[in-house]
Amino acid sequence: MKFAWKWLLPLFVVQGLAACSNLSPQAEQAPQAETLSAYHWQLRQALDAQGVAQTGWGKVQLDFNKGRMQVRGLCNAISASYTLDGQQMTVGHAMGTLMACPDAGLMALETRVTQRLPEIRRWSLQTPAGNATNLQLTLGFSDGARWLLDGTPTAETRYGAAGEQVFLEVAPERVPCAHPLMPNYQCLKVRTLSYNAQGLKQNTGPWENFYGEIEGYTHQPGVRNVLRLKRYTRNQVPADASKYVYVLDMTVESERVR
């Protein structure tokens, strides 16, 4: 019966093309927009309008989710609104927390990034030649400059769930603890915190040893932090690890303790 349908194939092709042409730009870009939100984007290279590499931009990371762009790798948590229209991107005024940063160079970079983000005009996703497992994001600016960013799957993408929000206070110093596989291991000392809908602290748990590490968090001795984390459940739990994975979402408080 296959030959009986041959005369209908051109009609199906034409109808299929017509249906595709009726898709809105938003519908056509939806898969790419979902991919944009499914990855962390680490700045690998900044190029000027002539394609010459620029220095001094550091290890800036961008995250895109539900119309908000989050900037990580700086002193403060920076965010801005964004909208997509095909390959056009419009970024709103960037705002951030107001923590003092002891690193003057990092503060200067933060100012540069905050001023630069609203100048983004275009975006595109590519798979680098010979590296089919990785994605690259290109952001184009109003002056013709470009940022090239490498993608890493988010925790939601890796663990297949949104994760549970938790708050931990991290003490200024690590403490010795008994790790089954690592002699002389030092744990973070933490306690859980809970807040009400108005952001007021409600309960504080007891101090406990935290075995393992928190993804995205680097502990500085002598600094007390309150962290907002996302907690995910592992699909496969190693014999020497917790069933949970903790990923830094935001540093709520930071204080150097003398």
CA distance 106 to 112: 10
In this model, does residue 143 exceed pLDDT 60?
Answer: yes
Residues in the chain: 258
Q: For the chain, what are the domain ranges?
A: 24-152, 158-256
Q: Which two tokens stand for residue 118?
A: 């609203």
- pLDDT exceeds cutoff 50 at 147: yes
Cα–Cα distance measured from residue 243 to residue 237, given in angstroms and rounded to the nearest whole number: 5
pLDDT higher than threshold 60 for residue 150: yes
The stretches of 73-200 forming alpha helices (DSSP H) are 104-116, 155-159
Two tokens at 181?
Answer: 């596989």
- CATH class of the domain at 24-152: mainly beta
Give 83 or 26, the one with higher predicted confidence: 83
- pLDDT score of 88: 96
**Residue 164 contacts residue 247 (beta carbons within 8 Å):** no
What's the confidence (pLDDT) of residue 106?
A: 85
- Confidence band, pLDDT 50/70/90 cuts, at residue 73: confident
Q: Identify the DSSP state of 215.
A: B
Higher model confidence: residue 197 or residue 69? 69
pLDDT confidence tier of residue 26, bands split at 50, 70 and 90: very low
Query: Across the chain, what does the average pLDDT equal?
Result: 83
Q: What is the pLDDT of residue 61?
A: 93
